[in-house]
Structure 1
Amino acid sequence: MNPFISLLFFLLLIQASSTSAQPDIVVDTCKKCAESSPNVNYTLCIDSFNSIPESHNSTLQDLSIIATNITEANATSIVSELETILRDTPSTDSAYMRSCLETCLELYSDSVSSLDDSVEAIRAKRYGDADIMLSSVVDAPRTCEDGFSDGEIESPLKVENDEFFGHSVIALGIVAMLQKT
């Protein structure tokens, strides 16, 4: 075999083994978050970051911003959905249902603003501020669901609320990790 080809093959082999030996920040971060909080769904965490390929080459601070942006996009989508439901729901329908939907709209609208502020706090390395804002956001889906269950009516947002909660606890978990650094 040609010595040049042998050397090239050897160098490629070394690079491949050194690349695969480097830990994946997404896997490590999701694992630590899931271990530190029973509310963090490891699979959702991995899947969320896998949808954004550059997350695998990020810092922990970058991952925190990505997770918060994913959560903000989720909240924005829920706000849009709630506006559509409210617009398409006749005012003759249940006043209590309408009140629940309006409360959820307010909660998620506030969440969008808090998540935007959280990203700015993370960028400025004010992790304590980000933690406080994200903690309030985590409560939005539960508070939204409580209104429906208190009135003994089925929530039209159960899936969305569960998904939002899942994303928000991931963002909160990563900020908690940043606070320890």
Structure 2
Amino acid sequence: MAKAAAKDWNMKYDFCVEPLESNPHSKSATSIKGLVIASTKNAAFNTINVERITKTILNERKTSHGNKAALRDCIGPYKYANSSLNNALMNVKSQDYRRANEYLISAFDAPRICEDIFTKIKKAKTPIRDENIII
């Protein structure tokens, strides 16, 4: 990964490595396939966590009506992302990497969609901005 990061200025080595280093499943991975499975499981966990945090904020009395509406709109993309990640896992395990990649790309749209909802509707940053990642 370090060599790839050195060749491509768009690839940020630390951004790629940090989630893998903190993931206990990636430590036992012996292949790229194992790393993909570990990182995809980590991403699926993160989508569930963001959805849980979003629902917690929705239940807080201090959350404005406008924020609640926008947050409710964010839940759908995260549910879809989680489903896409589970489909990606199935495809990786069956070695259909082309299809797995399609599902992964689809799942990674959720944070952007949620941020766009807040930017366009509320003209503000989402209250889940720090959690609003998948990887």
User: Normalising by the residue count of structure 1, what TM-score does the alignment of the two structures yield?
Assistant: 0.65
Structure 2 counterpart of 1:52, one-letter code: N
| More displaced stretch, 51-60 vs 123-132 | 51-60
Question: Structure 1's 153 and 105: CA in aligned 2 closer, same or farther, altered over 3 A?
Answer: same
Residues 26 and 35, structure 2, Cα contact 8 Å, conserved in 1 = yes
| More displaced stretch, 118-127 vs 147-156 | 147-156
Query: Which structure features the higher share of helix residues?
Result: 1
Question: Structure 1's 131 and 44: CA in aligned 2 closer, same or farther, altered over 3 A?
Answer: same
Report the counterpart of residue 127 of structure 2 in structure 1: 156
Residues 49 and 55, structure 1, Cα contact 8 Å, conserved in 2 = yes
Distance 1:86 1:70 in 2: 24
> What is the CA-CA distance between 1:72 and the residue it aligns to?
0.8
2:20 to 46, 49, 57: 49
Cα deviation, 1:34-55, whole Å, max 9, x if unaligned, reads 75572x4321322222223563
Residues 26 and 39, structure 2, Cα contact 8 Å, conserved in 1 = no
Report the counterpart of residue 123 of structure 1 in structure 2: 93
Distance 2:19 2:8 in 1: 18
| More displaced stretch, 69-78 vs 96-105 | 96-105
> What is the CA-CA distance between 1:68 and the residue it aligns to?
0.6
Instruction: Please state if 1:82 is matched with 2:49.
Output: no
Residues 31 and 42, structure 1, Cα contact 8 Å, conserved in 2 = no
Structure 2 residues not aligned, in runs of 5+: none
Distance 2:8 2:116 in 1: 26
Question: Structure 1's 35 and 138: CA in aligned 2 closer, same or farther, altered over 3 A?
Answer: farther
Residues 115 and 126, structure 2, Cα contact 8 Å, conserved in 1 = yes
Percent identical among aligned pairs is 26
Greater relative contact order: 1 or 2 (C-alpha under 8 angstroms, separation 6 or more)?
A: 1
Question: Structure 1's 127 and 37: CA in aligned 2 closer, same or farther, altered over 3 A?
Answer: farther
Residues 48 and 82, structure 2, Cα contact 8 Å, conserved in 1 = yes
- The equivalences for 1:96-175 within 5 A come to 96-150=66-120, 151-161=122-132, 163-164=133-134, 167=135
CA RMSD of aligned residues (A): 2.3
Report the counterpart of residue 63 of structure 1 in structure 2: 35
Residues 115 and 125, structure 2, Cα contact 8 Å, conserved in 1 = no
Q: Which has the larger radius of gyration?
A: 1
Distance 1:42 1:108 in 2: 26
Distance 2:45 2:56 in 1: 17
> What is the CA-CA distance between 1:32 and the residue it aligns to?
2.5
> What is the CA-CA distance between 1:98 and the residue it aligns to?
1.7
